[in-house]
Copies of this chain bind each other. A is one copy, B any other.
Amino acid sequence: MKIAILPGDGIGTEIMAEAVKVLNVLDLKFETESALVGGAAYDAHGHPLPEATLNLAKSADAVLFGAVGDWKYDKLERQFRPEQAILGLRKHLGLFANFRPAICYPQLTHASSLKPELVAGLDILIIRELTGDIYFGQPRGRRVAVDGHFPGAEEAFDTMRYSKPEIERIAHVAFQAARKRNKKVTSVDKANVLETFQFWKDVVTEVHAQYPDVALEHMYVDNAAMQLVKAPKAFDVVVTGNMFGDILSDEAAMLTGSIGMLPSASLDKANKGLYEPSHGSAPDIAGKGVANPLATILSAAMMLRYSLNQPEAADRIESAVQAVLSAGLRTGDIWSEGTQKVGTVAMGDAVVAAI
């Protein structure tokens, strides 16, 4: 087994070092190979996703990804910006199914913005389609408007689109995931306005016929943004498109109060995947040794379970993280009165010790 290690920018290198340390004590047979990605790759090679990095990711059995991005790249042309690396990896590896669990860890309930009774025990799974929608739809660009409110004016445009097989495959992923959970899927759309999402709703309903044991509800995206705030525990599996999923998965992650703890997986049709923390590269705290490595460590656990067929090893990591939290260790982002503040390396060491 080969794991591609792509630390990236900002806190990426620090948190990745801890995840690799944890993987190394598990006594599994795998090799790792690292490569630059994002701003770090641009600095060294002039491109955020160099050919060699992409080839490594393609040849590996799984990719563990840190985070990319820094304000210093904001002025670059779009194609050279760090986030193009993650978009490129999703596209070239065909990672169409993004799993973003929004879990409120019992030890961290107080860290949520929401009242404790609304989030205690929260465990929802957002499944976001990741290679279609307005993220990749062509045509896009700038031009002179020929119609609309100001014909003759300069305008910019993008194309939202979904084909039937794209919707079908993500719907199957969602219904199958719900079968292993509480058997309920909420499909989020904007069928009252968008042709794309009326089609989405129709196709999801069609696929649902094959899963009579799973309940399906449809919800408009604006209502979903509200219901997540009002009663997040009413959800089980949420499935939606790339753009709506970007917004709702971040909203849900922040609602938990545990965003420094949340892993994510992006899978292709053969369950090969890229695993990354749900949080970003946090350039403001990079290099200070204070970042929370647990989301990356838990991403490594997800990788062992989904792509590398090592569920026991995944369990061992997850139990160790629970033990460390229960022992009261906290990085700054999740610290509260009465718990012990530790840095990135100490947190990683504690997980290793607990394993």
Interface residues of A (CB under 8 A from B): 78, 81, 83, 87, 113-115, 118, 131-132, 134-138, 140-142, 145, 147-150, 153-166, 190, 192-200, 221-223, 225-226, 228-230, 243-244, 246-251, 253-255, 259
Q: Are A148 and B163 closer than 8 Å at their CB atoms? A: yes
Give bound CA distance, A225 to B222, whole Å. 12
Q: Are A162 and B166 closer than 8 Å at their CB atoms? A: no
Contact partner of A225 (CB less than 8 A), chosen from B160, B193, B247, is B247
Of the listed residues A81, A114, A154, A243, the one surrounded by the most CB atoms of chain B closer than 10 A to its CB is: A243
Contacts A161-B157, A229-B254 known; A166 to B195 CB distance under 8 Å? no
Q: Are A157 and B155 closer than 8 Å at their CB atoms? A: no
Contacts A163-B145, A222-B246 known; A156 to B113 CB distance under 8 Å? no
Contact partner of A142 (CB less than 8 A), chosen from B138, B148, B199, B259, is B199
Q: Nearest residue in B to A191 (C-beta to C-beta)?
A: B78
Copies in the complex: 2
Q: Nearest residue in B to A250 (C-beta to C-beta)?
A: B222
Of the listed residues A158, A194, A196, A253, the one surrounded by the most CB atoms of chain B closer than 10 A to its CB is: A158
Q: Nearest residue in B to A200 (C-beta to C-beta)?
A: B156
Give bound CA distance, A145 to B161, whole Å. 9
7 closest A-B pairs (Cβ-Cβ)?
A156-B199, A155-B163, A157-B161, A226-B254, A225-B251, A222-B250, A153-B163
Chain B residues with CB under 8 Å of A157's CB are 137, 159-162, 195-196
Q: Are B163 and A198 closer than 8 Å at their CB atoms? A: no
Chain B residues with CB under 8 Å of A255's CB are 229
Q: Nearest residue in B to A82 (C-beta to C-beta)?
A: B192
Contacts A165-B150, A221-B246 known; A158 to B195 CB distance under 8 Å? yes
Q: Are A154 and B164 closer than 8 Å at their CB atoms? A: yes
Instruction: Provide 21 A-B residue pairs closer than 8 Å at the C-beta atoms, listed in order of the A residue.
Output: A87-B193, A113-B230, A114-B229, A132-B148, A140-B194, A140-B195, A141-B195, A148-B161, A153-B163, A155-B164, A156-B161, A156-B195, A156-B196, A156-B199, A156-B200, A158-B196, A190-B246, A222-B250, A226-B250, A226-B253, A229-B251
Q: Are A163 and B137 closer than 8 Å at their CB atoms? A: no
Contacts A132-B148, A159-B160, A251-B226 known; A198 to B166 CB distance under 8 Å? no
Give bound CA distance, A154 to B153, whole Å. 33
Give bound CA distance, A195 to B160, whole Å. 12
Question: Nearest Cβ distance between residue A262 and chain B, in whole angstroms?
Answer: 12
Give bound CA distance, A259 to B163, whole Å. 36
Question: Nearest Cβ distance between residue A253 and chain B, in whole angstroms?
Answer: 7
Chain B residues with CB under 8 Å of A192's CB are 78, 81, 83
Give bound CA distance, A240 to B159, whole Å. 19
Give bound CA distance, A142 to B166, whole Å. 15
Q: Nearest residue in B to A259 (C-beta to C-beta)?
A: B226
Q: Nearest residue in B to A224 (C-beta to C-beta)?
A: B247
Given contact pairs A142-B195, A225-B251, a sample of 16 additional A-B residue pairs in the complex whose CB atoms are under 8 Å apart? A78-B192, A81-B192, A131-B149, A134-B134, A134-B193, A136-B148, A138-B147, A140-B194, A142-B199, A153-B163, A155-B164, A158-B161, A160-B160, A222-B246, A225-B248, A226-B250
Chain B residues with CB under 8 Å of A158's CB are 159-161, 194-196
Of the listed residues A137, A157, A228, the one surrounded by the most CB atoms of chain B closer than 10 A to its CB is: A157
Contacts A135-B193, A193-B87, A195-B158 known; A113 to B229 CB distance under 8 Å? yes
